[in-house]
A and B are shown apart, each in its own frame.
Chain A
């Protein structure tokens, strides 16, 4: 809620600013307007909030809302009356080359990180607490802000903070992130006028990537807001001096006037810009008029607060300026001047704070020395700012002790320098352009960035909202499982097992070959994030979030290829993300692996579409990769989807290979030939995943499955009822027998309605696409039929339970078909032949967004928005993620207690559990109660390093022969015990000891010889695992060969 309020606040004021700008004829660029929207909106809002208290009206949340609504109403009327005719165009970012894409990616990453950092911390830095946040708090409490330090500091930032505090949000840092975003946009838009997109993007990246700017965007200081106003004002001044646009001049003064409400030193910057204006327009006939207009607009905006502060006795401009002038000019203090200049000259080498920003100035001067006269306005502004900052600190020192100067320099210099530093980068961007270095050095192909694709990503962010808060949905069906699966996976990886198969702590420590029969793809991704430093819960949440977000782009890519329409792709992608069962999968079922697999369903359809329509080596490998990745993500989904895939391929082939006047044999031959590419793609896909698939298929028989198929798991109790597919019911419980399931099976009102409209649309628009839509209509109806109880005979006859554990899990398939059908309502041009060799775009203007499509998008998000919630707690009932936590979970839920097929009774406790519950560490899994310690002695390593996830190494000394040793580990193919002796520092295996299975738990047991030896217990690869591994390796080589080895003509 804290974060949501801050986001709402920023969006609301951006809309206000946007409406105000919408009523102006200039600026016309969408990027420029977007950059100005929040600062203009907040500038007007601050001024309006300041007025009521002057008339005795107290500050309150109601006042904030009323003022906003009044301003919003005025702005709306203003925008309607004076509406400019520009459309928001993303043309600036169409067809990016990889270099530009990388720059844009880095900027996006920077904003993601600063958003995270800014939203995480509440005000905590010394000055923000002492000045800005305190002022905000005092205003929110209706107490005079003069109680805070520096009472004459203006109220723009305090009023924003006060509004957020009053509305109930502590996430005040988000304001600063917004200012950095606005600065980046306005900076880019202006630089783009004079330089190429690549140079403008590079310079913007240098600016945003400067650590000092990033830091300032994560705290609530007024320097960054002032930086925005000053830099924007300066850029408009430059535009005026170059184009003589009066609008630019007025806007420049206006922005600086707003800036005066953020920092008290605004008049100094006014003086710098005013001087520049006079210098460069002196010879023009309207110089005096322009100078007066600039000064008048600035003073009209800046004066109220300055005068008010003087009248109220807060101090401020007049007293500060007169003191500074008296002290600064009164006597020459060379030491102070020297100290200030030396301090300034150290800045370019302060890489940790400034990166290479200051070094850009000398480099730009060298790059652009031939065109130096063209940049004289900018260079004059930079020079005056350098003089200004030296003077500021010199004046501080002139009348005070030297140590105050040192303190002022170290505390204030960088912040003041930041206020004009972007001018350096701006000049660097211009010099880069003039030198043409970047254009000549790196010629690159252009990549078209679809605005609907960007919109899809942005709209998808709401879907991961519940993951962004603290805590985790421990109570979701597989919430604990997902975290502990990763925990077990990590245990094996940490022991150096690069492809884990055995989970050592399942079933109270008896272990289980979980990753041998359960696809490990999702856990490799989770492990990657865990190894980066994220804890298990956060790593799991990141995988959930990625799976959710990437599902949309996957569907987008497929539908875009199928239809050529970005709008259709956008709608399909969005429905795929927001279709309720997708949300059930994440927040109700917490089915991590399944959610990851859903990314690959549309990609697989796309890949196999290409193998038929546009057969090529690339298509074959792409289809194989998608299909293989699906198998490696979730075997159940792969199994469920394979029949659909076969139908899809046959459907394509039938559509493509039309029977002409030829014999049946020729037709069958042509058909078979066309089917070869998809067939080999499927084969290669399974081959790529063989390391998992082969042992999973052949060794599945060695685990007990009765516990997952009987009683509650009897699929006949889990058919859906027709009404449930359309009911808005939502809960976090489980599926039960009968119609009163405690979880939702709905299609979602928007996806269902879109599918219905799509059917109408398909029949109204007959074209080359119709048959594709009909395939997915058919898939939807068949799937619905199979989810209902009347299809029970079919389930029994075809043994469909092999493909889906429960009938309602077929909703996975309707996720796909409903999403694709949603795209059918978007406008697209007919494709006469589906055999188009390349992706084609039929959108009339791909850089512009269609309002109806965007509104449909909003509808899709809003339709599922109420379901985007999950009951979260910071810690599970079992305590922190650990082996003890896992055992408690097994004990309380009876989950993660799988056993091998030789086990007669599922364990409910173990000797290892005793040790863990006693707060100690298990150092060996040998059953020590079975033998006489006088006859048999074990040398267990006390640091616990003898026991690993895939075995154990232990020394023994047996007085008698044929002593029996038992491990508390379930037997499963792959376990071996070796007898070894120490040779030097190494252990040399002398022979393998035959294993017998002991008792109802089928524990590993061996008979050991007399003497002092070592026992090596190892979980190793069996023949199916080795074969699977080699098939995967060979498949990778074949895929690489197909991609990179060129065939001679």
Chain B
């Protein structure tokens, strides 16, 4: 076999390997991404969000239920600013640093469980031990 023919065969093998590897990788992706859908094709929107965002979505749902749409909220952690805005819009949201300054405007405190709860008086409604909302008493 000539050197040229040899290299030709090696390159053909490399191309075939590259294509096959791409095929297997793509099939793996398809399998992984279809698996949760196959597991339950009929999930509701809430179930899908719970599946993807885990516990934080539960808190968002809880706050949605417990607070009116025109409420002003103070959330004790600014860890999920954009999720808060996406799910709690059109409620107005303030964060940790300015509770004292905004106290008059705030209707509800949202406890995410990620930091120690502030000591304020109000009607407490809890999702679990650490997470919930406090309706401030005026």
Contacts and interface: CB of A to CB of B under 8 A. Distances in A.
A659 B107 CA distance: 99
A134 B81 CA distance: 11
B35 interface: yes
B30 interface: yes
Interface string A351-389: 110011101100100110000000000000000000000
Interface in B82-135: 82-83, 85-86, 89-90
Interface in B43-67: 43, 45, 48-49, 52-53
A109 B89 contact: no
The interface residues of chain B, by DSSP majority, are classed as: helix
13 contacts: A109-B30, A120-B41, A124-B53, A126-B83, A129-B82, A129-B83, A130-B81, A134-B86, A355-B21, A356-B25, A363-B14, A363-B15, A538-B41
A438 B15 contact: yes
A203 B53 CA distance: 36
A143 interface: yes
Contacts of B81: 130, 149
B82 A355 contact: no
Nearest to B53: A124
Contacts of A116: 34, 37
Given A143-B90, A366-B11, A437-B12, A355 B22 contact: yes
B7 to A, nearest CB: 9
B89 A110 contact: no
Contact of B49 (A122, A359, A534): A122
Nearest to A532: B38
Interface string A253-287: 00000000000000000000000000000000000
Interface string A97-121: 0000000001001100100110011
Interface residues on B, range: 35 or more
Q: Which 9 interchain pairs have the tightest Cβ spacing?
A: A130-B82, A209-B26, A124-B52, A470-B42, A211-B29, A355-B25, A355-B22, A113-B30, A356-B18
A210 B30 contact: no
Contacts of A149: 81-82
Given A130-B83, A432-B15, A470-B42, A437 B8 contact: yes
Given A210-B22, A211-B26, A356-B25, A134 B85 contact: yes
A533 B35 contact: yes
Contact of A206 (B22, B39, B53): B22
A214 B29 contact: yes
Contacts of A143: 89-90
A247 interface: no
A645 interface: no
A122 B8 contact: no
A199 B18 CA distance: 14
A786 B49 CA distance: 56
Contacts of A367: 11, 15
B3 interface: no
Given A143-B90, A355-B21, A435-B11, A210 B48 contact: no
Contact of A138 (B30, B37, B89): B89
B45 A170 contact: yes
A117 B14 CA distance: 32
B42 A106 contact: no
B23 interface: yes
Given A122-B45, A359-B18, A432-B15, A214 B26 contact: yes
Nearest to B39: A533
A595 B22 CA distance: 37
Contacts of B18: 206, 356, 359-360, 363
Contacts of A657: none
B2 interface: no
A44 B33 CA distance: 33
Given A113-B33, A435-B11, A538-B38, A133 B86 contact: yes
Contacts of B29: 211, 214-215
Contacts of A438: 15
A874 interface: yes
A106 B23 contact: yes
Contacts of B78: none
Contacts of A356: 18-19, 21-22, 25
Nearest to A202: B19
Contacts of A137: 86, 89
Nearest to A366: B11
A279 B133 CA distance: 63
A441 interface: yes
A679 B18 CA distance: 51
A533 B38 contact: yes
A133 B39 CA distance: 26
A355 B35 contact: no
Interface in A125-154: 125-126, 129-131, 133-134, 137-138, 141, 143, 147-149
Given A122-B45, A170-B45, 13 more contacts: A121-B52, A124-B53, A129-B86, A134-B86, A137-B89, A141-B90, A351-B25, A352-B28, A355-B21, A356-B22, A363-B15, A437-B11, A874-B42
Given A120-B37, A131-B82, A356-B18, A110 B25 contact: no
A532 B35 CA distance: 10
A248 to B, nearest CB: 30
B26 to A, nearest CB: 4
Interface string A852-887: 000000000000000000000010000000000000
B31 to A, nearest CB: 9
A471 interface: yes
Contacts of B23: 106, 209
Contacts of A535: 38
A210 B26 contact: yes
A565 interface: no
Contacts of B16: 441
B30 A441 contact: no
Name the residue among B16, B33, B90 with the largest chain A CB count within 10 angstroms: B33
Contacts of A355: 21-22, 25-26
Most chain B beta carbons < 10 A, residue from A110, A113, A137, A535: A113
Contacts of B43: 470
Interface string A453-475: 00000000000000000110000
A357 B83 CA distance: 34
A218 interface: yes
Interface string A435-459: 1011011000000000000000000
B86 A211 contact: no
Contact of B26 (A110, A360, A532): A110
Contacts of A471: 42
Nearest to B51: A124
A471 B30 CA distance: 23
A958 B83 CA distance: 70
A438 B11 CA distance: 10
A532 B30 CA distance: 14
A218 B33 contact: yes
B54 to A, nearest CB: 11
B30 A110 contact: yes
Contacts of A214: 26, 29-30, 33
Contacts of A351: 21, 25
Contacts of B26: 106, 110, 209-211, 214, 355
A138 B11 CA distance: 53
Nearest to B52: A124
Given A109-B30, A141-B90, A214-B29, A134 B82 contact: yes
Contacts of B33: 113, 117, 214-215, 218
Contacts of A109: 30
A209 to B, nearest CB: 4
Interface string A810-846: 0000000000000000000000000000000000000
Contacts of A124: 48-49, 52-53
Contacts of B42: 470-471, 874
Nearest to B16: A441
Interface centre among B22, B34, B52 (most CB of A within 10 A): B22
Contacts of B41: 120, 470, 538
